[in-house]
A and B are shown apart, each in its own frame.
Chain A
Amino acid sequence: MAGFDEQEYTKSFDIRIWKRLFPFLRNRKLDFAGMFLFNGVCALVDVIIPLFQRYAIRNFIETDQLAGFLPYGLCYLVVIIAQSLSVVAFTRNSMSIEMNMGKEMRRDLFTHLQTMSFSFYNVTPVGYLLTRVMSDTTKIASMIGWDMTDILWALFYVSGTFAAMLLLNWRLALVVILIVPVIALLTGYFQNRILHWNRKVRKLNSRITGAFNEGITGAKTSKTLVIEDQNSESFRQLTGSMYEAGIRAARLNAVYIPLVLFFSTAAVAIVLLRGGYMVGEQVLEIATLSTFLTYAVGIFEPIQMTAANIAEFISMQASIERVTDLLDRQPDITDRPEVVEKYGDVFYPKRENWEPLRGEIEFRDVTFRYPDGGENVLSHFSLHIPAGTTVAIVGETGAGKSTLINLACRFFEPTEGQILIDGRDYRERSQLWLHSNIGYVLQNPHLFSGTVRENIRYGRLDATEEEIQAAARAVSADTVVEKLERGFDSDVGEGGDRLSTGEKQLISFARAVLADPRIFVLDEATSSIDTQTEQLIQQAIDHLLKNRTSFLIAHRLSTIRKADLILVVKDGKVVEQGRHLELLKKGGYYHDLYSRQFAEENAARVLK
C-alpha cells in the first residue's frame, strides 16, 4: 500500500494519454476560441506599444513638431483599452475552462467510483482516491485553463515580436534570434532539476506537517514514555533536510535566472553595437534602434517562462494518466445487461420491477478466493439459511469472519457455484436491489457530517419526522440524542467525530431500523463502551434481529447465544456449524474457543 502515493509516472510524452482529455474539452469550444482570440489581441497590443514609441520619436521628436499629436494619443488610448478588455475576456474564458473542466472530471471520477467493487476499495487507500478526485483534476483543469493561456500569449507575443523585428530590420532581428536557442538550452537544462527539487521540497513540507500532527496527537504518549527529546531531535533532522533541500532549490534558481538575464542582456549589447553601427551608417533610424532595444529586453522573459510552463505542462501527463487509469478501472462485479434492462442500474433503478425480498439465502457449492489471493478460502461450501435466521460468525481475530458476509451481500461474488436469494441466483437481479434490502452496521460506525437527523434519514430518504423519531426510539438512540445540545439538529462533526463510539453506534442502528432491511449485518464492536450503553446496544440489536435474516460477526457471548446458527471460522474456513449448546457438546474447536475465555476463571475456582 505504501506504493500508492509514491507512484510516479516517468513515461515520455504519449499523445494517446492526452487524447483522453478531449471529451472534457469538447464542450468548451467557445471558451477556447475566446482564449485564442483575446490572447492574440493582448499579445498584439504588447507588440504594438513599442511601435508607438517609435512613432513618437520619428514623427515628433526627430522632426521637432507636434502635428497629429492628439490623434496619436487617442489611438494609443484605444489600443490599451482594447487590451484591458481582452484581459477581462480571456480571464473569464480561462476561469470558465478551468472550473467547468474540473467539475466534469470530478463528477465523472466520483460517479465512476460509486460503481467500483469492494475488492478495489479493500486495496486502495482513501487518501489515494481523494487525491485523484480533488488534486489531480484541479491540476489538470488549471493547467489547461491558465498555463495554456500563458503559453498562448507568449507564443503570440514572441512570434509577433519577431515578425515586427524582421519587418523593421531583418539583419538586426537575426542577431536577437541567435540568443533564443541559448536560452532554450539553459532552460531545458535547469527546468527538470528545478522541478525535481521543488517536488522534494513539497514532499518534505508534507512530512513536516505530518510530524506536527504526530507531535500534537501523540503528545500524551510522548509524555508518558518520556521521549520528548528524542522526538524533537528527529524533528530537527527533518527540518534540517528541509533546509538543505530549500537551499538546493534556491541555488538552482540563483544560477539559472542570472544566466538567462546575462544572455538577454548580451542580446541588448549586441543590438546596441550592431544597431549603433548601422545608425552611423545611416541604414537604421535611432527610433527603430530604440524599438529593438525594447523588444530585446522584453522578449526573453516570455521565452524563459514559456519553457518552464511547457515543462510543467508536460509533467501534467502523469496526472492525466492517474485520472484516466482510474476511469478505466472496471468494477469486478457488474450486473448483466439483461439485469440492468429489467432492474435498472445504481443511478436509475427501476424499482417498479423489483421483487420483494424475503431473506432466504442459500450457498450452493460455493468456491471462493479473493481476487488478489491465490488460495481458495471456501471450497464447495453449501449452506441454507431460511428467512429470519440469525447467523453468528465466530472465530479468532483475522480468521476471515467477514468473507461469508461479503459473499452473501454480493460485495464479492463466488468464484464457482451460486448464491441464491429467495431461491434465485442473486446475479439474476441487480446489486442495488440486494443492497437496498441490507442493513449494515459496522464495528466502527461511519456517519456523514451533518445533523443527527440527516444521518438517520440516510436509511430512508423519504422518511417523515415521526418515522425518524420512532426509529431512534426503537433502538434507544433517543436517550443519546436528548443529551445532545440541539437534539436531532446537532451536528455530528466530520465522520461523526463529535460523538462517542457508543453514540455513533446507536445512531447507526436507528439508521438501519429506518431502512427496514430484510437482511441485517452487524459487525459487532469490540471496543470499550460503558456497560450501561452496552446494554442499550444489546436491546437495540435484539430489536433489529426480529424477523430478519441476520449475520453477526460476534464477539460477545450474549450475542452468540442468541443465534439460530453459529458458523465457526478458522483460517478462513468454516470448520463447525450449529447451535451454541450443540457445538459445545461436540467438544470441538468451538468448545475450545469458548472455554479458553473462561479457563482462568475455572482455574481460579479450583485453586481456591
Chain B
Amino acid sequence: MEPVFKMSRQEKTAMILRYLHRCKRYFAAGLVCACLSMILNAVTPQIIRITVDSILGAAETSETPSSTLLSAQSALQRIGGWLGKEDWGSLLSPAALRANAVSALWMAACAVLAVAVLRGFCSYGQRMYLAKGSEAFVKGIRDDLYNHIQRLSFAWHTAHSTGDMIQRCTSDVDIIRRFVCNQLMEVVRTVFLIVLYLSIMFSMNVKLSLVALAFIPVVGISSGVFYRRISSRFKLADEAEGALTTCAQENLTGVRVVRAFGRERYEVERFNEKNEAFSRLWIRLGKLLSVYWASGTLLTCLQVMTIILVGTWETVHGGMTLGEFLAFVTYNEALTWPVRALGRVLSDMSKAGVSMDRVGYILRAPEEEDDPQAQEMPQAGDIVFNHVSFGYEGQPVLRDVSFTIPQGSTFAILGATGSGKSTMVHLLTRLYDLKEGEGSITLGGVDIRHLRRAQLRRRIGLVLQEPFLFSRTIRENIAATHPQASEADLRHAAAVACVDEAITEFADGYETLVGERGVTLSGGQKQRVAIARTLLSGAPVMVFDDSLSAVDAQTDAKIRQALKKNLKGITTILISHRVTTLMQADRILVLDGGRVADIGTHSQLIARPGIYKEIYDIQMSSDDRRWLDGETEGTAQKGGER
C-alpha cells in the first residue's frame, strides 16, 4: 500500500530550511549576484537611449535632459570627484554630448562593454554560487536519507516497497531540489526582474507601462493553466512508455520461454500494439503541445506588437522620445519570456509539495533505538527462548515456543515454509522485538532487548537464504564484516565456504566486481560468498537460515563438512527443510504451525512417528534406504577415511 502522509506547511518549510541551513550563504550570494546582473542588464538600454536621444540628436527638440542622463551625469561627477577630475560630470551635458559626438560615442560603447564585463562576473558568481548551493543542498538530503534508511527498523522495510522508496529518494528528491534551487530562485529572480523593469518603465512612460503590466497576468496565468492541463497528459504518456518497456524487458528476460513455445510472432504483435499505443498518445500530446507553444508565441508577440503600436502612437504624440521608445521596447521584450516561464514554474511548483510529503514520510519514520540503560554484552552463554509468541499484524506466527540452545552446540530447526523458522531468526537478531507478554529471549541469561542491537548482531553471524551481495568486489563483500582481515583469513573463510576455487577462476579473482556493474554470480555462488562473509566475522553464534538451498547436494555436503571442522566451539543454528542438512545436529527442533512439534536428535526423531519422520520418508524413499542398508560397509569406509 502506498502510505499517504501529509505534512503541514510549517513542517515542510522547516524541512527545507533545515537543509538550506548548510548552504544558505551560497544561495544568498547567488541571489545577490543574480540581482546585480539584472540591474546591470537594465543599464545597457539606458546607454542606448542616451546615445539615440542626446548624442545622435533624435530628441533635439527637448532641451531638458532626461532623468537618467542627469543621474548618470551626477554619478560620473562623483566618480570624477574621487579621481580628481571635477569636470567629468559636464562631459554628459546635452550640449557637450552633441558637440563631441565621436568621443561621446566611444564613451557609450565603452560603457556598454564595461557593463558587459561587470555583468559577466556577476553572472559567473550567480551560476557558481547557485550550483554550489544546489549541490550541497541535494547532497545533504541524499546523505541523510541514505543514512536514515539504513537505520530504520526491519519491520518498516518489509512494510514498504523498494521501488517506491527508491523513487522517493531519487525522483522526489530531484523535484524538491528543482523546487528549491531552480524554481524558488527563478521566482525570486523573476519577481525582482518584474519590479525592477516595471519601475524603470513607469519612470519613462506611465501609460505604456500600464499596457505592459496588463499583459503580465494574462501571459503568466494562461501559460500556467495550459501547462497544468498538459502535465496530466504527460503522465498518461509516461505510463504507456512504462508498459512498453516492461513488455520489451519481459520478452528479453524470458527469451527461452518465448522460443520454447514458438511465440515470437505473438510477442512482436504484443510489442507493436504497445508501441503503437505509445506513439499515438505522444502524437496526440504533440497536438496539444503545438497549440500550447503557438498560443504562447502568439501572446508574447501580441504583447510586443501592442507596445510597439502604442509606443509609436505615444512617441508621435510627444509622450516619449525615440530613445525612450527603443529602451521601452527592449525592457518589454526582456520581460515577456521570464513572465511566461513564471506561469509554468508556479504551476509546476505544486508538485513539490507532494514530493516533500513523500520524502518527509521517510525522514520522519523512527530509527531503531536501543534501550538507554542497555546492559553489557554477556561474554557467552546459552540462547533460551522463553514462551515466545509472536505474530505480524495480528497473524500469530510463533505460539508459546520454548527451547534452549546450549553454548557450542549445533541446533537445527526443521519446518515447512511459513512455519515460523525465519521469524525465530528475526527475533534472535532483534530485527523484530518481542513486546511485553510475548515471552522473552535470553543470551547468557540477559534478555536481548536489554542489549545494544549492534553488539548483539555482531555476536550472531547470520547467513540468509537469499543473501544480498553489495555491488563491490568479492573481496570487499567478504571483508565487509571484518575490513582488517588478513589475506590468509579471507581465503580461509572462502575455502571453508567452498567458494575460493570458483573465485580464483574469475579473471579478476577476488577483485571481481559483483552485481549490476560486474559479474552475475549464480545463486549457489552467492550463498557461498555470504557464508564466507559471515565466517570471517568470527561471530560466536552462527545461523544458517536455509543458506545452502541453491547449492547442489554434493557441494552442500562439502560445505557442511568444512563448517563442522571450523565451527568447533561455536554455537551453530541450522535452518532447513533438507533432512540431510540437519540430521547431524545435536538437537533438532521440528516446528509446525508456529508450535514446537517435537525436539530431539535425529535418531530419536526417526524412531517415532511424526512430521520429521514423514519428511524424512518423502525425502528418502524406501528403496534408497534399502540400497543404503545393503551398501553400508563400503560407504562407511569411505566416510571413515575423511
Verify that A and B bind, or say they do not.
yes
Say whether B170 contacts A2, CB under 8 Å: no
Say whether B577 contacts A530, CB under 8 Å: yes
Say whether A555 contacts B553, CB under 8 Å: yes
Say whether B150 contacts A228, CB under 8 Å: yes
Q: Flag the segment in B102-110, B225-233, B387-395 that touches A.
A: B102-110
Say whether B546 contacts A231, CB under 8 Å: no
Say whether B272 contacts A49, CB under 8 Å: no
A99-B642 contact, Cβ under 8 Å, with A280-B56, A435-B259:
no
Min Cβ gap A490→B in Å is: 17
The answer to whether the Cβ of A13 comes within 8 Å of any Cβ in the partner chain is: no
A219–B161 Cα distance when bound, in Å, is 13
Min Cβ gap A417→B in Å is: 23
Residues of A within 8 Å of B431, CB to CB, are 220, 223-224
28 A–B pairs (Cβ distance < 8 Å), ordered by A: A57-B322, A69-B312, A73-B305, A73-B309, A84-B295, A88-B290, A88-B291, A98-B282, A110-B248, A115-B264, A126-B249, A130-B245, A210-B517, A216-B157, A224-B457, A226-B481, A227-B480, A272-B47, A293-B326, A409-B260, A495-B253, A527-B550, A584-B627, A596-B557, A600-B557, A600-B560, A600-B584, A603-B636
A-B pairs, 4 with minimum CB distance: A95-B286, A250-B131, A603-B639, A440-B260
**Considering the complex, which residues of chain B in the window 245-285 have a beta carbon less than 8 Å from any beta carbon of chain A?**
245-246, 248-268, 271-272, 275-276, 278-279, 282-283, 285
The answer, among A60, A84, A235, A242, for a CB contact under 8 Å with B316, is: A60
A347–B555 Cα distance when bound, in Å, is 44
Interface-central residue, A111, A211, A221, A409, by most chain B CB under 10 Å = A221
Other A-B contacts than A209-B166, A247-B131, A595-B638, 8 sampled, CB-CB below 8 A, are: A106-B244, A231-B150, A254-B123, A272-B108, A446-B250, A597-B553, A600-B580, A606-B640
**Considering the complex, which residues of chain A in the window 73-87 have a beta carbon less than 8 Å from any beta carbon of chain B?**
73, 76-77, 80-81, 83-85, 87
The answer to whether the Cβ of B165 comes within 8 Å of any Cβ in the partner chain is: yes
The answer to whether the Cβ of A536 comes within 8 Å of any Cβ in the partner chain is: no
The answer, among A65, A106, A218, for a CB contact under 8 Å with B275, is: A106
Min Cβ gap B233→A in Å is: 13
Min Cβ gap A396→B in Å is: 6
Q: Flag the segment in B76-84, B190-198, B404-412, B462-470 that touches A.
A: B462-470
Min Cβ gap B109→A in Å is: 4
Say whether B120 contacts A61, CB under 8 Å: no
A49–B289 Cα distance when bound, in Å, is 24
The answer to whether the Cβ of B185 comes within 8 Å of any Cβ in the partner chain is: no
Say whether A239 contacts B264, CB under 8 Å: no
Say whether B316 contacts A61, CB under 8 Å: yes
A398–B522 Cα distance when bound, in Å, is 10
The answer to whether the Cβ of A134 comes within 8 Å of any Cβ in the partner chain is: yes
**Interface residues contributed by chain A, number (CB under 8 Å):** 167
Say whether B102 contacts A532, CB under 8 Å: no
A584–B298 Cα distance when bound, in Å, is 88
**Interface residues contributed by chain B, number (CB under 8 Å):** 173
Say whether B618 contacts A535, CB under 8 Å: yes
Say whether A521 contacts B55, CB under 8 Å: no
Min Cβ gap B604→A in Å is: 12
The answer to whether the Cβ of B513 comes within 8 Å of any Cβ in the partner chain is: yes
Say whether B417 contacts A528, CB under 8 Å: yes
The answer to whether the Cβ of A52 comes within 8 Å of any Cβ in the partner chain is: yes
Say whether A80 contacts B302, CB under 8 Å: yes
Say whether A53 contacts B283, CB under 8 Å: no
The answer to whether the Cβ of B356 comes within 8 Å of any Cβ in the partner chain is: no
A129–B253 Cα distance when bound, in Å, is 10
**Considering the complex, which residues of chain A in the window 128-149 have a beta carbon less than 8 Å from any beta carbon of chain B?**
129-130, 133-134
Residues of B within 8 Å of A99, CB to CB, are 279, 282-283, 286
Residues of A within 8 Å of B260, CB to CB, are 409, 435, 438-440, 521
Say whether B256 contacts A442, CB under 8 Å: yes
Residues of B within 8 Å of A348, CB to CB, are 265
The answer to whether the Cβ of A33 comes within 8 Å of any Cβ in the partner chain is: no
The answer to whether the Cβ of B572 comes within 8 Å of any Cβ in the partner chain is: no
Residues of A within 8 Å of B286, CB to CB, are 91-92, 94-96, 99
The answer to whether the Cβ of B213 comes within 8 Å of any Cβ in the partner chain is: no
The answer to whether the Cβ of A259 comes within 8 Å of any Cβ in the partner chain is: yes
Residues of A within 8 Å of B96, CB to CB, are none
Say whether B416 contacts A532, CB under 8 Å: yes
**Considering the complex, which residues of chain A in the window 252-269 have a beta carbon less than 8 Å from any beta carbon of chain B?**
253-255, 257-259, 261-262, 265-266, 268-269
Mask for A203-245, Cβ within 8 A of B = 1, else 0? 0000011111111111111111111101110011001101100
Residues of A within 8 Å of B275, CB to CB, are 103, 106-107, 110
A83–B300 Cα distance when bound, in Å, is 12
Please name the residue on chain A nearest to B305 by beta carbon: A76
Residues of A within 8 Å of B121, CB to CB, are 258
Interface-central residue, A84, A134, A349, by most chain B CB under 10 Å = A84
A225-B522 contact, Cβ under 8 Å, with A103-B275, A254-B131:
no
A414–B556 Cα distance when bound, in Å, is 34
A343–B144 Cα distance when bound, in Å, is 62
Mask for B455-484, Cβ within 8 A of A = 1, else 0? 001101010110110110000000011010
Min Cβ gap A157→B in Å is: 14
Please name the residue on chain B nearest to A447 by beta carbon: B254
Please name the residue on chain B nearest to A557 by beta carbon: B624
Min Cβ gap A51→B in Å is: 12
Say whether A111 contacts B268, CB under 8 Å: yes
The answer to whether the Cβ of B294 comes within 8 Å of any Cβ in the partner chain is: yes
Say whether A100 contacts B279, CB under 8 Å: yes
The answer, among A66, A106, A246, for a CB contact under 8 Å with B135, is: A246
Say whether A446 contacts B316, CB under 8 Å: no
Residues of B within 8 Å of A533, CB to CB, are 417
Say whether A220 contacts B157, CB under 8 Å: yes
Interface-central residue, B271, B470, B580, by most chain A CB under 10 Å = B470
Residues of B within 8 Å of A168, CB to CB, are none
The answer, among A87, A111, A115, for a CB contact under 8 Å with B297, is: A87
The answer, among B166, B252, B519, for a CB contact under 8 Å with A129, is: B252
Interface-central residue, A225, A495, A555, by most chain B CB under 10 Å = A225
Say whether A239 contacts B258, CB under 8 Å: no
Interface-central residue, B312, B313, B615, by most chain A CB under 10 Å = B312
Residues of B within 8 Å of A225, CB to CB, are 457, 480-481, 533-534, 537
Say whether B248 contacts A133, CB under 8 Å: yes
A280–B56 Cα distance when bound, in Å, is 7
A276–B166 Cα distance when bound, in Å, is 61
Say whether B165 contacts A216, CB under 8 Å: yes
The answer, among A84, A103, A268, A436, for a CB contact under 8 Å with B279, is: A103
Min Cβ gap A31→B in Å is: 11
Please name the residue on chain B nearest to A212 by beta carbon: B169
The answer to whether the Cβ of B152 comes within 8 Å of any Cβ in the partner chain is: yes
Say whether A216 contacts B162, CB under 8 Å: yes
Q: Flag the segment in B2-10, B62-70, B111-119, B434-442 that touches A.
A: B111-119
The answer, among B55, B101, B552, for a CB contact under 8 Å with A526, is: B552
Residues of A within 8 Å of B481, CB to CB, are 225-227
Residues of B within 8 Å of A432, CB to CB, are 262, 264
Residues of A within 8 Å of B551, CB to CB, are 397, 526
A236-B132 contact, Cβ under 8 Å, with A65-B316, A219-B154:
no
A573–B147 Cα distance when bound, in Å, is 51
Say whether B417 contacts A529, CB under 8 Å: yes
The answer to whether the Cβ of B151 comes within 8 Å of any Cβ in the partner chain is: yes
**Considering the complex, which residues of chain A in the window 550-580 have a beta carbon less than 8 Å from any beta carbon of chain B?**
555, 557-558, 561
Say whether B519 contacts A91, CB under 8 Å: no
Say whether B468 contacts A130, CB under 8 Å: no
The answer to whether the Cβ of A174 comes within 8 Å of any Cβ in the partner chain is: no
The answer to whether the Cβ of A10 comes within 8 Å of any Cβ in the partner chain is: no
Say whether B117 contacts A239, CB under 8 Å: no
**Considering the complex, which residues of chain B in the window 474-514 have a beta carbon less than 8 Å from any beta carbon of chain A?**
480-481, 483, 513
A125–B265 Cα distance when bound, in Å, is 23
**Considering the complex, which residues of chain A in the window 174-215 have a beta carbon less than 8 Å from any beta carbon of chain B?**
208-215
**Considering the complex, which residues of chain B in the window 518-562 have a beta carbon less than 8 Å from any beta carbon of chain A?**
518-520, 522-524, 533-534, 537, 546, 549-555, 557, 560-561
Interface-central residue, A81, A91, A210, A227, by most chain B CB under 10 Å = A91
